[in-house]
């Protein structure tokens, strides 16, 4: 306790005192994230709202002095326990570092602080006719720093790639307080090791991103979304393959299963057809003159592949309605029970029907409801399971089901996370899909970058 008092006293001395929170209530509020961990093992010692790079450096130097963990936090929307405070420490909150520092139309780049919300950045760059494609489902609150830490993807990954494809430079504060620049303000860089790739997806375990330069692209002139319904998941996946074979490159190829469709329609009436086993959400974009051409080809393919019904957007309102329905799946699922857990498994696209069927069977085996959505173009699914954590038996059944889902994913040649990360929840299972030698090198990198093990310790592995 004496160490904690000294730590907090020093933090308040070096920073704005009002930005250092220390009451039990304040610390409790920042002890976990959207993973909805069943129990909170430890509260943070303090929550610090940093406002600039210099303050981040001061916090890290203080943390090193007292060998105290530092856990970065953006909006806290990750679902794997990546910013939970398992071992106490300092929660570094970036909500006050939320400025878009520069949008450069000529270079097609944006320089931002880590607390900038993804959706806000997208709206701002669109004023210049530019486009930042990465779109996590929670983009209305998800931050750039968090999306870099978790290597976020989203529905547009199929055509445009994920966060890792748009980060060209980072300012990273290392564990000892030194500042590292990983790249340059250029689109290409073959000068030395690509250090930036180490930090993307590292979940704050190697360094703390204090600033990012992001690549932008020209904004598509027009877009249209199509919703196609099928009687089986296999038919839906076959339709996706047929679209790709015709050299149509949709922005998104997402899907919802029957339970997800029915749950969304119950809580967010959108005109979805609830008697179908699966629905594809397909978006096309490009020049206005080509949108209807692309749509007509896609609709023709969908009809040939046995789509039982097709809806598409003719207005902005239709477009927003369909996408709001798709993005509302977890929120709707959360209304079924006090808690909801979601997951993120990815397999080769040819194995996706088997993964969906297998996941359904596992949940049925353990008496769990499941609503499935995902990015069928990427081969990934997000099983969303409503649960009551107060029910000990149900919680144990969930843990057994999750373990079998991961085993199934590994057997199908997949990995345990395509865009959510590992955190603490998937940590016990990483060895199923990452070989021992690779894990050893990860540990060596961690030790080199963070010798005192203060940066989000014991996450990932």
Q: Are residues 275 and 346 in the same domain?
A: no
CATH of the domain at 251: 3.30.70.2190
Do 105 and 208 lie in a common domain?
Answer: yes
Domain boundary among 330, 357, 373: 330
**Which pLDDT score, from 0 to 100, does residue 91 have?**
97
Same domain, 344 and 378: yes
State whether 62 and 172 are in the same domain.
no
Query: Do residues 247 and 259 both lie within one domain?
Result: yes
Q: How far apart are CA 286 and CA 403, in angstroms?
A: 42
pLDDT, tens digit, 9 for 90 and up, residues 344-358: 999 998 899 899 999
Residues ≥6 apart with Cβ < 8 Å to 451 = 175
108 and 189 in a single domain? The answer is yes
Examine the pLDDT at 36 and tell me if it is beyond 80. Answer: no
Verify that 81 and 154 share a domain, yes or no: no
Residue 452 confidence (pLDDT): 96
> Rounded mean pLDDT of 123-152?
94
Of 184, 218, 252, which residue is a domain's last?
A: 218
Tokens 């603490």 belong to: 424
445 found inside a domain: no
What distance in Å separates the CA atoms of residue 148 and residue 155, rounded to the nearest whole number?
16
Cα-Cα-Cα-Cα torsion 152, 155, 160, 162, nearest 10 degrees, comes to 10
Task: Identify any residues that bridge with 222 across adjacent strands, giving them in sequence order.
Answer: 286
pLDDT of residue 32: 87
Question: Of 218, 244, 259, which closes a domain?
Answer: 218
- Tell me which residue has tokens 């160490």: 3
CATH number of residue 180's parent domain: 3.30.465.10
> How far is the C-alpha of 340 from the C-alpha of 334, rounded, in Å?
5
Bridge pairing between strands 222-230 and 167-173: unpaired
- Tokens 């039982």 belong to 308
Lookup: tokens for 247: 């050299």
Rounded average pLDDT over 180-191? 92
Same domain, 392 and 355: yes
The verdict on residue 446 lying in a domain is no
Read off the CATH number of the domain in which 61 is found: 3.30.43.10
CB 141 within 8 A of CB 112: no
For residue 2, is pLDDT > 70? no
CA neighbor of 178 nearest in space, from 449, 445, 443: 449
* Same domain assignment for residues 259 and 279: yes
Q: Is the pLDDT of residue 84 over 50?
A: yes
Number of helices (H) and strands (E) in the chain: give both, helices first: 15, 19
Q: Within a domain: residue 325?
A: yes
- Same domain? For 38 and 108 the reply is no
pLDDT digits (tens, 9 = 90+) for 189-221: 999 999 999 999 999 999 999 999 999 999 999
Pairing type for strands 70-73 and 90-93 reads parallel
pLDDT band at 140 (very low <50, low <70, confident <90, very high): confident
Q: How far is Cα 216 from Cα 100, in angstroms, rounded to an integer? A: 14
Domain count, the chain: 4
Domain that holds residue 315: 222-330
CATH number at residue 343: 3.30.70.2740
């Amino acid at each position: 306790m004496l160490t904690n008092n000294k730590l907090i006293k020093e933090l308040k001395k070096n920073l704005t005192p009002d930005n250092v929170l220390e009451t039990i209530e304040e610390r409790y509020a920042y002890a976990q994230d959207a993973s909805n961990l069943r129990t909170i093992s430890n509260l943070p010692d303090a929550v610090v709202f940093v406002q600039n790079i210099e303050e981040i450096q001061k916090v890290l130097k203080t943390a090193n002095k007292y060998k105290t963990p530092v856990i970065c936090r953006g909006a806290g929307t990750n679902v794997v326990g990546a910013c939970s405070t398992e071992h106490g420490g300092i929660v570094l909150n970036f909500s006050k570092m939320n400025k878009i520092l520069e949008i450069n139309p000529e270079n097609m780049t944006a320089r931002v602080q880590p607390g900038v919300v993804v959706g806000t950045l997208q709206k701002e760059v669109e004023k210049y006719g530019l486009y930042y494609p990465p779109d996590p489902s929670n983009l209305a609150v998800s931050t750039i720093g968090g999306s870099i830490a978790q290597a976020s993807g989203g529905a547009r990954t199929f055509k445009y790639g994920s966060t890792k494809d748009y980060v060209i430079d980072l300012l990273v504060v290392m564990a000892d307080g030194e500042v590292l620049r990983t790249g340059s303000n250029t689109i290409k860089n073959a000068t030395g090791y690509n250090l930036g790739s180490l930090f993307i997806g590292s979940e704050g375990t190697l360094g703390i991103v204090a600033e990012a330069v992001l690549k932008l692209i020209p904004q598509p002139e027009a877009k249209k979304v199509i919703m196609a319904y099928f009687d089986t998941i296999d038919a839906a996946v076959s339709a996706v393959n047929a679209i790709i074979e015709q050299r149509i490159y949709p922005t998104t190829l997402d899907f919802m299963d029957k339970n997800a469709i029915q749950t969304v329609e119950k809580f967010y009436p959108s005109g979805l057809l609830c008697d179908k086993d699966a629905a594809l959400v397909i978006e096309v974009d490009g020049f206005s003159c080509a949108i209807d051409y692309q749509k007509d080809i896609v609709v023709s393919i969908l009809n040939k592949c046995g789509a039982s019904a097709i809806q598409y957007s003719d207005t902005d309102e239709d477009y927003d309605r369909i996408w709001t329905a798709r993005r509302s799946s977890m929120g709707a699922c959360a209304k079924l029970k006090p808690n909801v857990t979601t997951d993120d498994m990815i397999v080769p696209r040819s194995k996706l029907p088997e993964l969906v069927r297998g996941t359904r069977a596992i949940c049925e085996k353990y008496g769990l409801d499941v609503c499935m959505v995902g990015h069928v173009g990427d081969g990934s699914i997000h099983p969303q399971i409503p649960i009551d954590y107060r029910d000990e038996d149900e919680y144990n059944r969930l843990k057994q089901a999750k373990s079998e889902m991961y085993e199934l994913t590994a057997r199908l040649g997949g990995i345990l996370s395509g865009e959510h990360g590992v955190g603490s929840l998937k940590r016990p299972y990483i060895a199923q899909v990452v070989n021992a030698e690779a894990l050893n090198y990860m540990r060596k990198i961690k030790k080199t970058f963070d010798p005192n093990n203060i940066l989000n310790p014991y996450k990932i592995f």
